[in-house]
Amino acid sequence: MNNFLQSFGKNRTLFLTLIILALLFLLAIQGMTTRDWVVTVLRGLAVGSITFLVAAGLSIIMGLMDVLNLAHGTLYMIGAYVGWSMYVRPDAMVDMATPFGLLLAGFALMPLWAPLLARRSFSRTAARIWPWAALLLGLAMLIYGLTSAPVALWSGSDYQNSPIVWTQFAEVGAVAQNVQPATFQPGQSPLLIWGAILLGSALAGLAIVGLVQNRRGPEAQTRLSLARPLTSFAILAGLALLLFLVNAPLTAFLFGLSTNILFLLAILVAALVGVGLGSLMEATLIRPLYARAIYQIMLTFGLAFIGTELVRTIWGRTGFTMPKPALFASTGDGCPASSIAGWLQNNCSTIVWEIGGQNALIRTYNEIFVILVGLLVLIAVWLLLQRSRLGMIIRAGVQDSAMVEALGINVRRVFTLVFGLGVGLAALGGVIAAPAGGLSDAMGATLLLGSLIALAIGGLTSYPGAAAGAIIVGLVQQFIIRFGQLGINLPFLDEPWKPTPPIVPASTIILMIIVLLALPQGLFGRKE
């Protein structure tokens, strides 16, 4: 009891805020049946799970690196589209593996450039000109190589410019029969195209290092270490070329897999692509701007627009759906299921549960699977942060990065890993959300706003706060939607008040304002 009183005394404002929010919630739910309440809570937890996956990544990045990544929502969207492609058009993802691997291989050489450039002397004029010339030449090579690479996803004749068509084919299990393999155009040289991507990315990395040295001054000459960057380069380039050689049999193998396994692969690939893109962003674009917070915000804001336009260019502007895997799609015999066992046996899309004497229809993917994924990620990331050596380093880096550097730990590498992990969580959220809510070029902006609100409520740099804020945002949104149907019985009104649809997004903003007025650091944030 004494411990509770002491805790209450230290966190009086937090407890009072939570009590007020609980009372308002209890006031609002009066008149709801048990079934309505349970279904709404499940839907709120599902929305909260998706929001948490994005907010958690933002929280980890901000906690360690003080970087507000405004491109986070766009990377969530990219994760959804990449997951859809792996699920519906795995041939396109196999095609894309080679140019993407070569792109990463070229950038893997960046650790070589700084010590090499430190051994060279340039005139002031040459030092200013050559990085920009190298950057322009590298970008030109990349544009040529990437647009010439045979990838079914961005070939109009193969792709038919319509993801909707391919989604329909996927729903009836007829994708493989309608796929035309992507091939090099007559007169194209594979060596020239692959070489352009590899050399272009290497030149772009060299240019970035040169621009950074022009601003900061040349680094002190250090021992040139060739082993690690050359090993990374060899592994990435070799793997990329191997995938090119086994393209046809690998594509045939993937089309022969069940939709359940393909969906698991889609989750894995989308998360790995997110980690790769995040690591590349941090190493090439974010790292030179750590001392300039406003430039970081402007850069990530610009990257958000670029990413959105790339998605529109490749997949089109029209929204479409992602079919659910077979485990969550059946509406045939034995469906809706009356139990978990019945769902697993018949692959039902819904389960009927009796709640409070009424039957409630629960969607197996939206209200069960999505929540389970959010819970598993919550536990896994918490164990990583609290029970692993990497987590100890991350937590120490949050407190004092200079001290961690003094202990001989490469903080830059940790930053890259953390940024990649954060973006990977966002991409994971995108592919998980796609079958539940569909895909559109606006989904990234919507989730980014919800995630920022969740972080403001829970605490910007607090991982538990990200989880709590996301759950609160999800529950508030779904209860407001339900109240718009049922109405809220308030003691000072003669008739139930029914919120209009615009109140749904506004409600979370109002809640955020209330919380921040009482607790400027959020519910679980640290006091400055």
How far is residue 270 from each of residues 82, 84, 155, 262, 277, measured CA to CA in Å?
Answer: 6, 9, 21, 12, 10
Model pLDDT, residue 8: 47
Q: Under a CB-based contact definition with an 8 Å cutoff, are residues 384 and 20 in contact?
A: no
- The reported pLDDT for the residue numbered 428 is 95
Look at residue 399 in the predicted model and tell me its pLDDT.
Answer: 65
**Secondary structure class of 350 (helix, strand, coil):** strand
Question: What pLDDT, on a 0 to 100 scale, did the predictor assign at position 373?
Answer: 95
- Please report the pLDDT score of residue 325 as a whole number: 93
CA dihedral 444, 240, 208, 210 (to 10 degrees): 170
In this predicted model, what pLDDT tens digit does every residue of 469-527 receive, in sequence order?
999 899 888 888 887 777 776 666 677 777 777 777 788 888 888 888 878 888 877 65
User: Can you give the residue ranges of every domain in the chain?
Assistant: 31-119+151-184+221-327+364-518
Is residue 269 within 8 A of residue 141, CB to CB? The reply is no
| Amino acid letter, 301 | F
Going from the C-alpha of 125 to that of each of 121, 135, 214, 220, 510, the distances in angstroms are: 12, 16, 11, 21, 55
- Residue range 51-81, pLDDT digits in tens: 999 999 988 888 777 788 889 999 999 999 9
Instruction: Name the stretches of the chain with pLDDT < 70.
Output: 1-18, 20-31, 154-161, 216-224, 397-401, 404-405, 407, 489-493, 526-528
Q: Which pLDDT does position 491 carry in this prediction?
A: 66
pTM of the full structure: 0.86
Nearest-CA neighbor of 269 among 111, 85, 15, 436?
85
Q: What is the pLDDT of residues 413-464, one digit of tens each?
A: 788 888 899 999 999 999 999 999 889 988 998 899 999 999 998 888 888 8
**54 with 451: CB under 8 angstroms?**
yes
CB 110 within 8 Å of CB 283: yes
Q: What is the mean pLDDT of the chain?
A: 84
